[in-house]
Amino acid sequence: MKPTQFEVLFFLVLFSTLMLFGGMYLLAKFNRLFKRIRSEFLRKNIVVWMIAICLITATAPTTPDFYGSFLGNKLKIFYPFEWFAATFDSIFVFNISWLVVKYLSRKNLSFRKRMAIILFTIITCSMLTSVPINYLGNKYLGDGASFKNLHVSLLFNFYTGCMIGLIYITMSYVDLARKRKLDEKELEVAKLQQLKAKAELDALHSKVNPHFLYNALNSIADLAVTDGKRARKMTIALADLFRYSINYSDHNYSTIKEEIDMTEVYLEIEKIRFEDQLNYSIQLDQDLSPYLVPRFLLQPVVENAVKHGLKTTGKMTEINITVKNGSDGLQIMVADNGPAFPDELIPGYGVKSMYDKLDLLFPGNYEVHFINHPEKKVTMNIHKLMKNEPAV
């Protein structure tokens, strides 16, 4: 039994509708569906080709040729011809446009200019394809006359090109907007991180051990009566130390000279506090004086050394600070003669603050070692140095 014309038509329209949905689905999901194909070139061509086939099939019933072929019983030629045309068009237009997009992405053009060039490319390519397709179409579907109705075909393809181009531009624009938003967010995160880093540093700056202050004041309370000169010396030293730690919290860096000076002030105070139990020496390579280190890097480390040194009672505590140019950058060594570092070293406030400051200001650019032999010491190596005032 032969189907009626209406039944054939109905079937074709149904088929076209299914292809339309298929094409849309592919368009939405192609990224996930085809990720197995590693080569980008191959993957994109296959996707574009499949979508083109789907959409051409879907739109076939809307073209005038369809009815001509349908009425002239030429559908058997019409569909393969349409598929062939879709294959040819899509591969040709897509690859040329793709090359242009690739080329443009390397040039630093504004979004508008880039989009204009791409639109132009797509339209031109699309119109160019209409020449051979028109020729072949006339030969197989029409009456064989070469280039009959070429102007119509050109106009039609101009229109199609415009449409594809505009879809591309819309998608690019959405992409651009999303990227901008993402960039903004990233910038915000970066800003927050910077703020956090600053807050952390601020917190670190102001932390001269408060007990140190109270203990020192307690000593002054005695010295004021027993030894006025030393009381005065200690008061001035204390003032210097706190001025250094409180007033300059805007600066994250200090010169090595400043740090050493302050460490010396600190050690002077400790020396008065512990009278005959503490001695210190500082060796500073003068060439290094102007280089920058995190502000208040040294004091907590030296305070630790003093504490550890005093642990061994009945013996003079010797603190030895050396700053020199090592084989890989600046080397700061703080040695004391207290008991050795235990293997299971647990960092306290001083060590943590040292790491935090170096992490914030010299990330990935420093090393810290705890050494027991031949001398018990902490060494800090800073590889890349900055001189004087940087842009902080």
Partner 1 sequence: MNQLFKTIVIDDEPAARRLMKNLLEEHSDVVEVISEASNGREAIEKIGKLRPDLIFLDIQMPDLTGFEVIEQLDEKPNIIFTTAYEQYAIKAFETFSIDYLLKPIKEERLAQSIEKLKKFGRFNQSIDVNGLQEIIRQFQAPKKATALPIKTGDRINLIRFENIAYLEAQDKYVCVFTIEGQKYLTDQSLTVLAEKLPPVFCRIHRSYIINKEKIREMHRHFSGRYLFIMDDKTSTRLTSGRTYQDIFRSEFGL
Looking at beta carbons only, is 75 or 197 nearer to partner 1? 197
Looking at beta carbons only, is 58 or 378 nearer to partner 1? 378
Q: How far is the CB of 164 from partner 1 (least distance, A)?
A: 36
Looking at beta carbons only, is 79 or 355 nearer to partner 1? 355
Q: Say if CB 266 and CB 241 are below 8 A apart.
A: yes
Looking at beta carbons only, is 51 or 220 nearer to partner 1? 220
Q: How far is the CB of 378 from partner 1 (least distance, A)?
A: 10
Q: How far is the CB of 32 from partner 1 (least distance, A)?
A: 15
R_g of the chain, CA atoms, integer Å: 40
Q: How far is the CB of 366 from partner 1 (least distance, A)?
A: 11
Q: In sequence order, what are the residues at sequence separation of 6 or more whose Cβ sits closer than 8 angstroms to the Cβ of residue 92?
A: 125, 128, 129
Nearest to 333 by CA among 342, 345, 323: 323
Looking at beta carbons only, is 108 or 313 nearer to partner 1? 313
Which class for 302: exposed (0-12), middle (13-18), buried (19 or more C-beta within 10 A)? Answer: buried
Q: How far is the CB of 65 from partner 1 (least distance, A)?
A: 50
The Cα–Cα gap between 73 and 187 comes to 64
Looking at beta carbons only, is 227 or 389 nearer to partner 1? 227
The Cα–Cα gap between 233 and 223 comes to 10
How many CA atoms lie less than 13 Å away from 376 in the CB half-sphere?
17
Q: How far is the CB of 326 from partner 1 (least distance, A)?
A: 15
**Binding stretches for partner 1 (CB under 8 A):** 210-211, 214-215, 217-223, 225-226, 272-275, 307, 310-313, 341, 343-348, 351-352, 355, 364, 368-373
Q: How far is the CB of 348 from partner 1 (least distance, A)?
A: 6
Looking at beta carbons only, is 86 or 265 nearer to partner 1? 265
Q: How far is the CB of 370 from partner 1 (least distance, A)?
A: 4
Torsion-angle region of 161 (φ positive above 0: left; ψ -120 to 50: alpha; else: beta): alpha
Q: Other C-beta atoms within 10 Å of 13: how many?
A: 13
Helix 64-71 and helix 75-106, axial crossing angle in degrees, nearest 10: 160
Looking at beta carbons only, is 100 or 371 nearer to partner 1? 371
Looking at beta carbons only, is 2 or 211 nearer to partner 1? 211
Looking at beta carbons only, is 89 or 268 nearer to partner 1? 268
Q: How far is the CB of 272 from partner 1 (least distance, A)?
A: 8
Q: Say if CB 372 and CB 308 are below 8 A apart.
A: no
**Is the preceding omega at residue 374 within 30 degrees of 0, hence cis?**
yes
**How, if at all, do strands 329-336 and 317-326 pair?**
antiparallel
Q: How far is the CB of 372 from partner 1 (least distance, A)?
A: 5
Looking at beta carbons only, is 95 or 379 nearer to partner 1? 379
Q: How far is the CB of 344 from partner 1 (least distance, A)?
A: 6
The Cα–Cα gap between 256 and 297 comes to 10
- The alpha helices in the chain, defined as continuous H runs, are 5-33, 40-59, 64-71, 75-106, 111-140, 150-205, 210-226, 228-246, 256-273, 298-311, 349-361
Q: Say if CB 93 and CB 129 are below 8 A apart.
A: yes
- Which own/partner pairs from 217-223 qualify as long-range (CB within 8 Å, at least 24 positions apart)? 219/272, 219/273, 223/272
